[in-house]
Amino acid sequence: MEKYDVNLIEAKWQDKWEQDKLYSTPDLNEIDQKNKLYVLPQLPYPSGSGLHVGHAEVYTSCDIYARYKRMEGKKVLQVIGWDSFGLPAENYAIKNNVHPKQTIEKAVENFTYQIKRMGISVDWDRSVGSHEPGFYKWTQWFFLLMYKRNLAYRKEQKVNWCESCKTVLANEQVTDGACERCGTNAEQKLMEQWYLRITEYADRLFEDLDKLDWPAETIKRQKDWIGKSVGAEIEFSIDGSKEVLRVFTTRPDTIFGATFMVIAPEHEIIEQLKEKIQNIDEIRKYASVAAQKTDLERQMNKDKSGVRLNGVEAINPVNGHTIPIFVADYVLSGYGTGAIMSVPAHDERDFEFARKFGLEIIPVISGGSENEAHTGHGILINSDFLDGLEVDQAKNKTIDWLEENERGEAKTTFKLRDWSISRQRFWGAPIPMLYDQNNELQPVDEADLPVLLPDDVDFMPTGRSPLTYSEKFHDGIPEGWRREVDTLDTFMCSSWYYYRYLDPHNSEAFASREALDKFMPVDFYIGGREHVNGHLLYSRFFTKVLYDAGYIDFDEPFTMHRHQGLILGEDNRKMSKRWGNIINPTDVMDRHGADTLRMYEMFMGPLEEDKAWNLDGEKGVFRFVNKIWGLQSKVLADFSSAEQMKEAHRLIKKVGADIEALSFNTSIAKFMEFSNFLSREEKIDLEVWKLYLLVMAPFAPYITEELWHRSGEIGSIHLADWPLYDESLLVESEISIVVQVNGKLRGEVKVAADASPELIKEKARSDENVAKYLAEGEIIKEIYVPGKLVNFVVKS
Q: Name which of residues 380 to 439 contact RNA (CB under 7 A).
A: 413, 415
What are the angstrom distances between the C-alpha of 559 and each of 172, 211, 310, 643?
A: 23, 8, 57, 41
Of residues 200 through 219, those in contact with RNA by CB under 7 A are 216-217
Q: Which of 526, 524, 529, 527 is nearest to 560 (CA)?
A: 524
Q: Is 708 helix (H, G, I), strand (E, B) or coil?
A: helix
Q: Return the number of the residue (178 or 452) whose C-beta is nearest RNA.
A: 178
11, 452, 669, 771: which one contacts RNA (CB under 7 A)? Answer: 669
Nearest distance, CB of residue 778 and RNA, angstroms: 14
Residues within window 674-713 making contact with RNA, judged by CB under 7 A: 676, 679
Q: State the minimum distance, in angstroms, from the CB of residue 437 to RNA.
A: 42
Looking at beta carbons only, is 395 or 544 nearer to RNA? 395
**SS3 of 510-535:** CCCHHHHHHHCCECEEEECCCCCHHH
CB of 250 to RNA, least distance (A): 4
Residue whose CB is less far from RNA, 83 or 329: 329
Chosen residue from 116, 349, 634, 683 binding RNA by CB under 7 A: 349
Cis, peptide link before residue 100, omega less than 30° from 0 = no
Among 47, 663, 711, 716, binds RNA (CB under 7 A): 663
In order of 1, 760, 779, the CA distances from 765 in angstroms are 53, 9, 10
Residue 376, helix vs strand vs coil: coil
713-772 residues in contact with RNA (CB under 7 A) are: 736, 738, 740, 742-746, 748, 769
Dihedral Cα 88, 93, 95, 96, nearest 10 deg = 130
Q: Angle at the Cα of 453 (from 447 to 458), degrees rounded to 5? A: 155
Stretch of 14-22, 131-139, 323-331, 442-450 lying at the interface with RNA (CB under 7 A): 323-331
Closer of 285 and 788 to RNA (Cβ)? 788
Within positions 360 to 379, which residues make up the interface with RNA, using CB under 7 A? none
CA 599/CA 250 separation, integer angstroms: 52
End-to-end CA distance of the chain: 65
Number of residues that bind RNA (CB under 7 A): 84
Please tell me the distance from the alpha carbon of residue 543 to that of residue 427, in angstroms, as a whole number: 25
3-state helix, strand, coil in the chain (%, to 5): 40, 20, 40
The residue (of 419 and 496) whose beta carbon lies closer to RNA is 419
Q: Nearest approach, Cβ of 84 to RNA (angstroms)?
A: 26
Q: Which residue, 242 or 744, is less far from RNA as judged by CB?
A: 744
Cβ(60)–Cβ(544) under 8 Å? Answer: no
Q: How far apart are CA 506 and CA 141, in angstroms?
A: 13
In whole angstroms, what is the distance from residue 245 CA to residue 260 CA? 12
Question: Judged by CB, which is closer to RNA: 302, or 505?
Answer: 302
Give residue 398's Cα distance to chain centre: 39
- For RNA, the closer of residues 162 and 488 by Cβ is 162
> For residues 217 and 360, which CB has a smaller minimum distance to RNA in the complex?
217
Q: How far is the CB of 780 from RNA (least distance, A)?
A: 9
Please identify which residue in 668, 684, 697, 700 interacts with RNA, judged by CB under 7 A. 668
Q: Long-range CB contacts (< 8 A, 24+ apart) of 553-559?
A: 553/517, 554/520, 554/521, 555/204, 555/208, 556/208, 556/211, 556/212, 556/521, 557/498, 557/520, 557/521, 557/522, 558/40, 558/212, 558/214, 558/521, 558/522, 558/525, 559/212, 559/213, 559/521, 559/522, 559/523
Of 40, 13, 124, the C-alpha closest to 718 is 13
Give the Cβ contact number of residue 717 at 10 Å. Answer: 23
Burial of residue 211 (CB within 10 Å: 0-12, 13-18, 19+) is exposed
Binding positions for RNA, 237-276, rule CB under 7 A = 247-251, 264
Find all residues with CB under 8 Å of 205, minimum gap 6, and list them.
Answer: 198, 222, 226, 416, 537, 540, 541, 544
Under the binding rule (CB under 7 A), the answer on residue 220 touching RNA is yes
State how far the Cα of 614 lies from the Cα of 478, in Å rounded to an integer. 63
Residues 552-611 that bind RNA (CB under 7 A): 603-606, 609-611
Shortest separation between residue 639's beta carbon and RNA, angstroms: 20
Question: Burial of 704 by CB count in 10 Å (0-12 exposed, 13-18 middle, 19+ buried)?
Answer: buried
- Pick out residues in 290-319 that bind RNA (CB under 7 A): 295, 298-299, 301-304
Q: Which is nearer to RNA, 354 or 488 (CB)?
A: 354
- Which region, judged by CB under 7 A, interacts with RNA, from 41-49, 145-153, 426-434, 661-669? 661-669
Judged by CB under 7 A, does residue 788 bind RNA? yes
Our CB check for RNA shows the closer of 443 and 606 to be 606
Instruction: Work out how close the CB of 493 gets to RNA at its nearest, in angstroms, rounded to a whole number.
Output: 22
Closer to RNA by CB, 396 or 676: give it: 676
- Residues 415 and 225: beta-carbon distance below 8 Å: yes
Q: Which of 624, 689, 699, 725 binds RNA (CB under 7 A)?
A: 624
Which CB sits closer to RNA, 710 or 772?
772
Query: With CB under 7 A as the contact rule, which of the stretches 74-82, 189-197, 480-488, 615-623 interacts with RNA?
Result: 615-623
Does residue number 175 form part of the binding site for RNA (CB under 7 A)?
A: yes
Nearest approach in angstroms of CB 194 to RNA is 23
Among positions 105-144, residues that touch RNA (CB under 7 A) are none
For residues 17-32, one letter each, b for 16 or more C-beta atoms within 10 angstroms of the residue's C-beta and e for the rest, the string is beeeebbebeebeebe
Closest to RNA by CB, 103 or 665: 665
What are the phi and psi torsion angles at 467 (to 5°)? Answer: -65, -20
Using rule CB under 7 A, residue 779 touches RNA: no
Q: Among residue numbers 510 through 529, which ones bind RNA (CB under 7 A)?
A: 529
Residue 155 engages RNA in binding (rule: CB under 7 A): no
Residues pairing with 249 in the sheet: 232
Q: Exposed e or buried b for every residue in 597-610, given b needs 16+ CB within 10 A?
A: bbbbbbbbeebeee
Q: Which of 81, 86, 338, 504 binds RNA (CB under 7 A)?
A: 338
Q: Which of 319, 462, 614, 640 binds RNA (CB under 7 A)?
A: 614
Binding test (CB under 7 A) with RNA, winner from 642, 731, 753, 783 = 783
Binding mask 63-102 for RNA (x = CB under 7 A): ----------------------------------------
Secondary structure (3-state) at 755? coil
If the CB atoms of residues 443 and 528 are measured against RNA, the closer one turns out to be 528
Residue 252 beta carbon to RNA: minimum distance, rounded to whole angstroms: 8
Q: Which of the stretches 184-192, 395-403, 584-592, 659-667 binds RNA when contact is defined by CB under 7 A?
A: 659-667
**Which H, E and C letters describe 471-492, residue by residue?**
CHHHCCCCCCCEECCCEECHHH
Nearer to RNA, 303 or 758 (CB): 303
